[in-house]
Structure formats: C-alpha cells, structure tokens
C-alpha cells in the first residue's frame, strides 16, 4: 500500500510540476500544514480521552461499565472468560463513546485472549463489533468538525447513531449466520 501511495504522490507531483510548477511547493506546504494540524487535533482528543479512560479504570467505573454491558456481552461471547469479557466491554464502551483509537488496545488484548483459547468465532465477532463501532457519541468526528469550523458539529449525532446501530446489527447478524452455516458443514 505504501508503494501505491508513493507512486501516486510522485506521479501527481511530476504532473503538477509540468502543468503549474509554481504550485508544487505551495501544495506540498499546505498539505503538510493541514496534516500537522489534524494530527495535533487528534492527539489532543485522544490524550484527553485516554486520561479519562485511565481515571475511569482506576476509579472502578470500567467495572461498572462491564456490569452494565455484561448481559449483552455474556450473550454474544458465551465461551469467553471474565478477563476477556472485561476487555471486550472496555472496547465496546470506548467505541460507543466514539473514541476508537482508545478502544484499540483493549480490542487487541481481547482478541488475543479469544484466539489463545481457540475462540475464533468470538474474535471475528469482536472484530465486527469494533469495525461497525456502535457509537452513541461520535466524539472524534464531532471534534474534527469543530476543529474545521463547523457551526453545528453535533448535527451528525442522529444520522451517526442510526447508521451505527444498523451496521452493528447487520454485522452481528452476519456473524451468527455464517457461524451457523459453518457449523452445519
């Protein structure tokens, strides 16, 4: 993939150099400025949420989240042990808050635990849950919209909620459908 992006970048720069040579440096400078601005914005968002997540873990809120989500997680991950379910709950909870970057480490840990115990169906289901990412509060997208000057960054709340509920439902249904189909063979 890096090779493809490199080829596209070089090709675009060469074409731009022939078409409008004075814009090459200007375009690269503006692009890098935007990349740095975006990176700083995302780092600040993730730093805040990572810190809050650590406070939540130390204060026992994560255990309460685990208990709150346990009926759903116990139903979806029947064969998983308590430690794995804790990481699944943390992953799902962070994704529900729209902080997928913070959810990733717990998702990796839960997937590792599931695979170590041979629960590959559970690992696939967790992958689908993390990918479809049921979001109650799309914090990352709202923050990006706010950073780029949106007058109403929360306008995406309802459409985001509807689409993530639908995508998660379809994904979970597909997992169970393929699991049943695989068990019949």
Phi-psi region of 60 (alpha: psi -120 to 50; beta: other; left: phi over 0): left
pLDDT tens for each residue of 53-83:
788 778 887 778 778 888 989 899 988 898 8
pLDDT higher than 70, residue 184: no
CA distance 160 to 132: 11
Residue 52: pLDDT band by 50, 70, 90 thresholds? confident
Burial of 53 (0-12, 13-18, 19+ CB in 10 A): buried
Q: How far is CA 182 from CA 126, 169, 174, 176, 178, in A?
A: 18, 20, 12, 10, 6
> SS3 sequence, 133-173?
CCCCCCHHHHHHHHHCCCCCHHHHHHHHHHHHHHHHHHHHH
Q: Rank 94-98, 139-143, 163-167 by mean pLDDT and report only the highest.
A: 163-167
The separation between CA 75 and the C-alpha centre of its own chain, rounded to angstroms, equals: 22
Mean pLDDT, to the nearest integer, of 11-39? 84
Residues 139 and 47: beta-carbon distance below 8 Å: no
pLDDT tens for each residue of 81-101:
988 988 898 888 888 877 777
Phi and psi for 128 in degrees, rounded to 5? Answer: -65, -45
The C-alpha R_g of the chain, in whole angstroms, comes to 21
The tokens describing 32, both together, are 């890098």
Phi and psi for 152 in degrees, rounded to 5? Answer: -135, 75
pLDDT score, position 183: 66
The tokens describing 132, both together, are 């479809």
CA distance 181 to 58: 42
């Amino acid at each position: 993939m890096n090779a493809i992006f490199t080829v596209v970048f070089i090709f675009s720069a060469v074409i731009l150099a022939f078409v409008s040579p004075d814009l090459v440096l200007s375009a690269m400078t503006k692009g890098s400025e935007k990349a740095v601005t975006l990176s700083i914005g995302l780092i600040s968002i993730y730093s805040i949420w990572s810190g809050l997540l650590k406070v939540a873990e130390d204060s026992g809120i994560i255990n309460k989240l685990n208990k709150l989500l346990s009926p759903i997680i116990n139903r979806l991950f029947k064969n998983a042990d308590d430690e794995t379910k804790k990481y699944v709950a943390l992953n799902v909870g962070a994704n529900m808050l729209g902080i997928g970057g913070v959810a990733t480490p717990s998702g990796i840990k839960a997937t590792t635990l599931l695979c170590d115990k041979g629960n590959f169906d559970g690992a696939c289901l967790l992958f689908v849950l993390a990918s479809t990412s049921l979001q109650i509060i799309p914090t990352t997208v709202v923050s990006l919209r706010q950073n780029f000057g949106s007058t109403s960054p929360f306008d995406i709340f309802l459409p985001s909620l509807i689409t993530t509920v639908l995508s998660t439902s379809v994904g979970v249904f597909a997992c169970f459908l393929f699991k049943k189909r695989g068990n019949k063979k």
